[in-house]
Amino acid sequence: MKKKREYDMIMLTKLNDNKIVLNCDQIESVELIPESKVIMMNGKFFIVKESAEEIIEKTIAYNEKIHSFHTDR
């Protein structure tokens, strides 16, 4: 059985339903226009379907994943 791939970054959906994967450490801000305009540190931006709250939740989950450590050593 093939294991489902987990992504290390957050996956968002553009307005044309294409999926994009972004490094959430590079997000500078999110504007609500009413869609979410994700502005990156390099000045590029992406308009996505997810709400600001969803983007924040995905970012928190990502950060928990990469900053967690195993206690079963």
Mind listing the pLDDT tens digit for each residue in 52-65?
A: 999 999 999 888 88
Q: What is the pTM of this model?
A: 0.76
Query: Which pair of tokens denotes residue 10?
Result: 């957050």
For residue 70, pLDDT over 90 is answered with no
**pLDDT averaged over every residue in the chain:** 86
CA 60 to chain CA mean position, Å:
9
Q: Predicted confidence band at 31 (pLDDT cuts at 50, 70, 90)?
A: very high
* 29-47 average pLDDT score: 96
2/49 Cα distance (integer angstroms): 29
